Structure formats: C-alpha cells, structure tokens
Amino acid sequence: MKIRKALAIIMALSLSVVLCGCDLFNNANELLSPPELTGEMAPIARALEKSAGPDCDLKYPAEGDYRSAIVLEDINGDAIYEAFAFYSTSDDEMTTMHINAICQIEGKWTSVADKTTVATGVEKIEFCDLDDDGNKEIVVGWDVNGTSEKQLSLFTFEDRVLTQQLVQSYTGFLCCDLNKDKKYELFVHLLNTSEKTNKAMLFNYNKEQIEQTTTCILDSSVKSAEKPILAALSNGQRAIYIDEIKGVGSVTEVLYFLGGELVNPLLDEESLENISTFRAASLQTQDINADNVLEIPIASDLPNAIRDGEKLYYTNWCSFNGELLSVKMITIVNTVDGYYLTVPSTMIGHVAVYKDTENHLRRFYHYDSENSVLGKELFTITLIKSSKWDKEDFDRGDMVEIARKDETVFVASLGVGAKAFAITTDTIKDTFYLVS
C-alpha cells in the first residue's frame, strides 16, 4: 500500500537524521522536535491512513524549504506542532490533491480536516502570518498541468478548521515583507503567454478578507520566467528580482514599493518592454562579486575577430539602486563551455574575440577600436578532455592548465601580443571563473 511504503521511507529518513544529524528534509522546522520525530511519524501516518485510506499517494513538494509530504509546523505559536499531509487520489478522469490537517488531541494524533483541489502535484509550501494575528496562513502551490499551469491556495487553520481563503493562478509566488512594515505580503507573479499578459500582484488582509492591494505590469513579450527572488537593491531597499526569457535573449525585472504601490521602474513605458536589462544569453541575476547585492547581467558590444561575424557581447554586471544601473564587473562569458573571464576597464574597447564553438576554443586579440583594426593575438583558451590531457605522451606544447571540471581541462596558451600587455598564464588564471 502506497502510504505504508511512504511511511517506511519517512521513518528511514527520520532515523538517519537522528543518527547522523543530516538535514535530509531541507526544513529546519521539521527538525525542531527530535529525537521524538522518528516516534511521532508513525502515529501521524496512521492517522492519515485512517482518514485517507491505505492507497493514497503521498506527494512531495518539488521546491522550497518544505520538501516532506508530511510537514510539521507550529501554526499558532503555542509550541505544539500540527502536521499537514499532502497526497493525491485518482480516478479515470482527474487527479485530486489533498491537504490533510492532523493534530494532537488528548495526546493522540488525529486527522481533523481535509481539503481538495484538482491538481497533479505540489510545487511549493509556505507558512506566513499575513494578517498579523499570530496564526500562520498556509500557502500551497499546486501543479495543475505539468509546469504550464499552476494554481495556489491560501488556507487558514484555526480551531482545527481548514478554510480556503484564496485561489489564484500563478507563475511564481513568495511570502515576504517587501515594505519592511513587519507584516507579510503574498507576492504573485502571473505570466500568460497566450494572452500576452505579464503582471505582478501583492495580496494583503483587509480585516478578515484577503485581497489584491497593488499590481504592476511586466514585459509583455516574455515567454517564460524564473522564480521571484527577494533581495535588496544597492541602496538597501527590499525588492523582488525576476529573470525572464524572451523569444531571443532575456531580461530582469526589478519590483519594489514606491508610495504604497508596486512599481517596475525598468519597464519602457512606450514599448512595454524591459529594454535596459536585455542580453542575448540567458544569464541569470546573481551576486557576481560577493558584495551581498544582486547584479544584473546586461550586454554591450564586443568586437568579433572575424569581420562580419556573429554578434558578440561583453556582460556588464550591474547593481540597481531603484533609479540607476551601475556597472560592478565586466566579463566575457562562454555559456557553451561554462566559464567567464573578468575584463579590466583598461581593456574595454581593446579586445576582440575569435569564437570556435565546435572546437571549444576562444582566441583573444588586441583591438584598436578607434580605427577598427585587429591586432596581435593575446591568448587562447581551449577545452581538452582530461583523459587526453593526462596521457604522458600528449604533446601539450605551450598550453598550461588553468582549471579543471569533471572530465574537462581548461587550458591557456599565450599569443605573440601577450607580453606587451603583461599577460601571463597566472593573470589568466586570476581572471578565469567556472560557471557554477
């Protein structure tokens, strides 16, 4: 029976947590009741089986902090945990997902509530106190049809009653205190490619009712989007970053509160597109220089060593303060082979690149941008299989290993123009980074 097999897995995982101390659940809240956790899971599962039947199929969230099919959480802050189980039942026409609430009543775990929705799985679970009453709401993201359709449900759980307060289609969501008022908001991003609409919404409680309080539009030409990330602007203000893929290339939206409204300052008002953060490669926003501020990758022209060759680009990693984008680092990124080189500002406009994707080779030349003249070769970076590179009889010539990943060796060789610009294999190593 499915639930008993799942119970055996949960019990085994729980035992390994007790024995080795590993965070196998990826959820600190579930580990707050060891060493009793192993013993508690059995009666919780029995209570679920009594309520749902022995053949229900436990469902595990695909992402987020809560990855167990049975989640322990102290909803009302009374230091007593409630359990929430996620499972499915099926017939010939549809799959029904359940959230089942299980509480301790007179020392015995008992199922007290069960709510259903038509869905195929659980994407993410979050707990947050949206109305500031001391009780956490439960936000569940359901997979409706693979990854193309998703729907979230917001539940309250009070007096052992599970009540659905909101049903909302979404592309991504998160609970956050965006305006630092010490109250959580529910942020929802919704991209509908068929209708060519793209928007963000914030939901708050108004008395006892959850409602949408502010919204803003995003780039309407976007085809898909990554998950929203809560982070700080370079001025310290909280913001939400969303990387999005267009038909060709990608952009980053940055949303924050201004005058009580959610705003998208990087959106061009005429075209309704995000022009300022466009780049050809699908690079994601990240803290590239470890300064605890996210940088947005933005493209600028990089000369091609082949006249009339394909367009090449520098990647300018920019922080954003809500008004201005400021370049913090400039790189040349090889997305195919998985590495990038940092470029000093003194070399901007003085480098051209020859790109040979088939042979995993990039050759760098000095370039006179004022006269559009290609100069001498500075250096070359090539990928070689480690099984070939490590052979004793392999002729390495003037190639030097600068990095290694899996079964691949990244090697560099100096060109005739390297000495004039004080370029050595050590300086190449210092500017070379593998894409994680």
Nearest by Cα to 209 from 127, 302, 107, 130:
130
DSSP state for residue 44 in the 8-state scheme: H
| Burial call 383-403: b when 16+ CB within 10 Å, e when fewer | bbeeeebeeeeeeeeebebbb
Partners of 110 in the β-ladder: 103
CB 423 within 8 Å of CB 414: yes
CB 352 within 8 A of CB 304: yes
- pTM higher than the cut 0.95: no
Report the distance separating Cα 247 and Cα 255, nearest Å. 22
Token pair recorded at residue 245? 């893929």
Question: Any bridge partners for residue 377, and if so which?
Answer: 365
Q: With CA atoms as reference, report the closest residue to 203 among 285, 294, 128, 145.
A: 128
Residues 415, 262: Cα–Cα separation, whole Å = 52
pLDDT of residue 382: 98
What's residue 281's pLDDT? 79
Domain boundaries, the chain: 56-304, 355-434
Is residue 332 within 8 A of residue 314, CB to CB? The reply is yes
- DSSP string across 310-340: --EEEEEEEEE-SS-EEEEEEEEEETTTTEE
Give CA angle at 109 (105, 111), nearest 5°.
Answer: 90
Residue numbers in the chain where pLDDT is lower than 70 = 1-40, 91-93, 146-148
Give dist(CA 233, CA 195) in Å, integer.
31
> What's the pLDDT score for residue 149?
78
How many Cα atoms are found within 13 Å in the side-chain-facing hemisphere of 147?
7
Cα radius of gyration rounded to whole Å, the chain? 27
Measured on CA atoms in the order 380, 386, 388, 389, is the torsion positive or negative? positive
Q: Would you mind telling me the total number of residues written for the chain in this entry?
A: 436
H or E, element range at 363: strand 361-368
Bridge partner list, 320: 325
Asked whether 362 and 392 are in contact (CB, 8 A), the reply is no
Region for residue 81 given its phi and psi (left: phi exceeds 0; alpha: psi -120 to 50; beta: otherwise): beta
Q: Give the model's pLDDT for residue 1.
A: 42
Tokens coding 138? 């439960």
CATH code of 56-304, in short, is: 2.40.128.460
